[in-house]
Amino acid sequence: MKSIRLIIIALCVLTLTACASSRSAEIYTRDQARQAYVVQTGVVTDIRAVRIEGTKSPIGALGGAAIGSIAGGSVGGGRGSQVAAILGGIGGWILGATAEEAVTQRDGFELTVRLDSGRMIAVVQEADVAFRLGDRVRVLSQGGETRVRY
């Protein structure tokens, strides 16, 4: 029985991390592949560190509720076990939602770019590429999404 609980917990953790979406300039979704992008060039004029919030899907909450219910249901016996399962499920729901958001947060940059046209834009993306003030960059835009690349 304990091994089944451990397997369920491991699957829930894997599910949480698999659901994290990327805001990286280096990662494209399947839908973004084979699309035309508008490309502009410019210079990085400001870099500010930011934190990109994590996902808030029902998966973390439901996974937490399942784990909490299983853990609570294993306490005591009879009616006490049922109450513990309900309370464990509620606590797990809250903890699971909080854990999902925390696990999927990312460090990011707010990059301000003066485009060659003279226009200034700011783009927030994951901090997976190091930029410096004065760097010449390309700004790719398509379908409401923009990314800064070398």
DSSP state of 55: P
CB 47 within 8 Å of CB 107: no
Domain boundaries, the chain: 23-54+106-150
* Backbone conformation region of residue 131, classed left if phi is above 0, alpha if psi is from -120 to 50, else beta: beta
Q: Which residues of 136-147 are buried (b: 16+ CB within 10 A; e: fewer)?
A: ebebbeeeeebb
pLDDT-derived band at 8 (thresholds 50, 70, 90) equals: low
Q: What is the DSSP string of 118-149?
A: S-EEEEEEES-S---TT-EEEEEEETTEEEEE
Q: How far apart are CA 101 and CA 54, in angstroms?
A: 4
Q: How far apart are CA 136 and CA 147, in angstroms?
A: 14
pLDDT of residue 9: 53
* pLDDT of 5 above 70: no
Q: Which residues of 84-106 are buried (b: 16+ CB within 10 A; e: fewer)?
A: bbeebbebbbebbbebbbeebeb
Which contiguous run of DSSP H or E holds residue 79?
helix 79-103
β-pair partners for 137:
42
* pLDDT of 140 above 80: yes
Mean pLDDT score across all residues of the chain: 82
pLDDT, one tens digit per residue, over 103-129 is 878 899 999 999 999 999 999 999 999
pLDDT of residue 99: 76
Fold classification of 23-54+106-150 (topology level): OB fold (Dihydrolipoamide Acetyltransferase, E2P) (2.40.50)
Q: What is the average pLDDT across 74-88? A: 76
Q: How far apart are CA 81 and CA 89, in angstroms?
A: 12
pLDDT-derived band at 4 (thresholds 50, 70, 90) equals: low
pLDDT, one tens digit per residue, over 34-75 is 899 999 999 999 999 999 887 777 777 777 777 877 887 777
Give Cα separations from 102 to 4, 8, 15 (angstroms): 26, 20, 14
* pLDDT of 76 above 70: no
pLDDT of residue 13: 53
Q: What percent of the chain has pLDDT over 70?
A: 83
